[in-house]
Structure 1
Amino acid sequence: MKFQSVLLLFVLLNASLFSEQEDIFFETQRKRLNSSDLFEIRDAIDRLTFIKSNKGLRDILSALEGNPNFPTSENNAPAVKFYAAKALSKKGDSIAIPVLIKVFQKESGSIVEYNPPKQRKITDGVADRYSNSSPYFYEDGEISMVLACGEILRALGSLPHTETSGSTLKQALSHPNFYIRSSAADAMYESNRKEYLTNLVETLGKELIPYTKISILAAIVGIERLPNQNFKSVTEMLSDKDPEVRKKASVGLRRIDLRIAAPYLEKAIEIENHPVVLTQMKEDYNFLISFRNP
């Protein structure tokens, strides 16, 4: 009896200590989220993402919204919204949907239209493949609001479907900026809802920008998962002159998840000279030929 009492006391003390340590952990991350150091904020978001508890979910939502009282602070930087959206996608909780929509609608309205002949700057958002703010080849300190809004859309697509999130994605598919349209297509694929196929097919017929066109095609192929004409069109874009388009085409073939796509990637790998694209192609090829349970 005495031993049981001592054991119970030991368990209670440990539980109390763990609870106190947990409180300290979350309080520390909240303070770091209010830091003026972007990388400190990102690390805090990462720590709150990869824990089993959802206790830090509202802190990530606050980071996504930013601080309206200090518009120029690092707390409102596009990179913070970018990583917060990624975190919310991983958390998978539908409580994030209204906030994601609110922030997207607020920020996407001021994003400029893509204009190929004009020399673009990082502050203009995503430009051509030589831009530091391009869809794939960017660094942490160069994330534009265009990239952040794109990540918000992808997060919406990965979360449980709602009527408002669906209408937001459909509207974004006709946004003036090509990368926003591309991200909306990605989000529709993430949702894996066949009801989006009509919207995607209609938009594909009007799209002129190669990067957005392959994004829409990759979404259609990923949802259909059929070796049809859309699949053939994706394979043809593996030879596009733009490395971003080739990379997206590789992702599209992975999405179809059929071994019939592997030979096309194998041939593309033989001539690919961009290291980032080559890595993606090899990863997608290995995925397609790997043995997986149905």
Structure 2
Amino acid sequence: MKFQTVLFMLVLVNVSLFSEQDEVFFETQRKRLNSSDIFEIRDAIDRLTFIKSNRGFRDILSALEGTPNFPTSENNAPAVKFYAAKAIAKKGDKIAVPVLIKTFQKESASIVEHNPPKVRKISDGVADRFSNSSPYFYDDGEIPMVLACGEILRTLGSLPFSESSEQTIKQALSHPNFYIRSSAADAMYESNRKEFLPTLSEGLGKEQVPYTKVSILSAIVGLERLPNQNFKVVTEMLSDKDPEVRKKASEALRRLDLRIAAPYLEKAIEVENHPIVLSQMRDDYAYLISFRNP
């Protein structure tokens, strides 16, 4: 009996210690989210993302919203919203939908067709090689709001469906900025809802920008799951004169995950001379031909 009592006390002490450690962890991350250092904020978001507990989820939502009373604060930086949106997509909790919509509507309202703060080339590198390709290539701390809004849309598409999220995504497909339109098409694909097909087809008929056309076409093919004429056009864009479009087409074929796309990528690799695009094509080709459990 004495042994059982001692064992029970030890368990209580350990539970108490773990609880105190949890409190310290979450309080530390909250403080770091209020930092003026974007990289420290990003690390705090990562730490809250890759733990099993969802306890820090509302802290990530707060990071996405920022601090409206201090508009020039680093907490409102586009990079913070970009990484917070990516984290929310990984967590996948539907309580984020209203916050995502509110933030997107607020931040996208002032985005026009062409607004990069400085001229960049694809050779300058991309902010996150695992994110969807973008026509804007920046370092982590220089991510513009248009990238953040695009990431918010894709996250919105990946979360459980709601009428408000559907309306927001549909409206974004008519946005003045071609990257926002591209991201809206990505969001429709992420939703896996065939109800978006008429909207996508209508958007395709109006679209003039090749980069956005790739996104719309690949979304249509992805929802139809048919290697039809739209699929053929995506493969043809692997030879577009713009390296950003070729890279986007390669990523689109990987996302579609149709093995019949592998020969097209293999042929494109033979003639590709841009190092970043070539690296992307090789990664995507390797993914398509790799063995994966169904």
TM > 0.5 between the two? yes
Aligned to 1:122: 117
Q: Tell me, in whole angstroms, the C-alpha distance in 2 between the residues paired with 1:218 and 1:248.
A: 10
Residue by residue over 1:116-140, the C-alpha shift from the partner in whole angstroms, topping out at 9 and shown as x without a partner, is xxxx6427xx987578885463210
Correspondences of 1:101-250 after superposition (within 5 Å): 101-114=101-114, 121-122=116-117, 134-135=134-135, 137-250=137-250
Give the residue type in structure 1 aligned to 2:54: N
Say if 1:241 and 1:145 are closer, same or farther in 2 by CA, change over 3 A: same
Residue 161 of structure 1 aligns to a residue whose secondary structure is coil
Partner of 1:205, secondary structure, is helix
For the residue of structure 1 that corresponds to 2:206, the secondary structure is coil
Q: Which moved more, 1:265-274 or 1:79-88?
A: 265-274
Q: Deviations over 1:176-210 (max 9, x none)?
A: 00000000001111111111111111111110111
Distance 2:193 2:291 in 1: 26
Contact 2:120 2:137 in 1 (8 A): no
**What is the aligned partner in structure 2 of residue 94 from structure 1?**
94
Q: 2: distance between equivalents of 1:169 and 1:127?
A: 28
TM-superposition CA deviations, 1:4-41 (whole Å, max 9, x none): 11111111101000000000000000000011111111
Question: Pairwise mapping of residues 70-85 of structure 1 onto structure 2 (< 5 A)?
Answer: 70-85=70-85
- Report the counterpart of residue 117 of structure 1 in structure 2: none
Counterpart Cα distance in 1 of 2:177 and 2:123: 17
Residues 139-161 of structure 1: per-residue CA shift (max 9 Å, x gap) = 10210010000000011011111
C-alpha contact 1:33 1:41 (8 A) present in aligned 2: yes
Q: Contact 1:173 / 1:185 at 8 angstroms: preserved in 2? A: yes
> Structure 1, residues 53-79: CA drift from partner, whole Å, max 9, x if none?
111011111111111111101000010
Check the 8 A contact 2:116/2:144 in 1, yes or no.
no
Q: Distance in 2 between matches of 1:127 and 1:113?
A: 16
Structure 2 gaps of 5+ residues are 127-133
Asked whether the equivalents of residues 120 and 138 of structure 2 are also in contact (C-alpha less than 8 Å), the reply is: no
Runs of 4+ in 1 over 4 A off after TM superposition: 126-134
In the alignment, residue 108 of structure 2 is paired with which amino acid?
Answer: S
Which residue of 2 is the match for residue 291 of structure 1? 291
- Displacement of 1:243: 1.5
Q: Unmatched 5+ residue regions in structure 1?
A: 115-119
Contact 2:194 2:223 in 1 (8 A): yes
Per-residue Cα deviation, 1:234-268 (whole angstroms, up to 9, x for no partner): 01000111121111111222233222111000111
User: In the alignment, is the contact (CA less than 8 A) between 1:45 and 1:83 conserved in 2?
Assistant: yes
**What amino acid sits opposite 1:100 in the alignment?**
L
Percent identical pairs in the alignment equals 79
Counterpart of 2:117 in structure 1: which amino acid?
A: I
TM-score, with structure 1 as normaliser: 0.93
Distance (whole Å) between structure 1 residues aligned to residue 17 and residue 182 of structure 2: 48
Aligned residues: 287
- My pick for the range that moved more, 161-170 or 251-260, is 251-260
Opposite residue 112 of structure 2, the aligned amino acid is V
SS at match of 1:122: coil
**Separation in 1 of the partners of 2:268 and 2:136?**
19
Distance, in Å, in 2 between the alignment partners of 1:285 and 1:130 is 21
Alpha-carbon separation, structure 2, partners of 1:292 and 1:153: 29
Q: TM-score when scaled to structure 2?
A: 0.93
- Structure 1 SS opposite 2:39: helix
User: Letter of the aligned partner of 2:228 in structure 1?
Assistant: N
Q: Over aligned residue pairs, what C-alpha RMSD do you find? A: 1.8
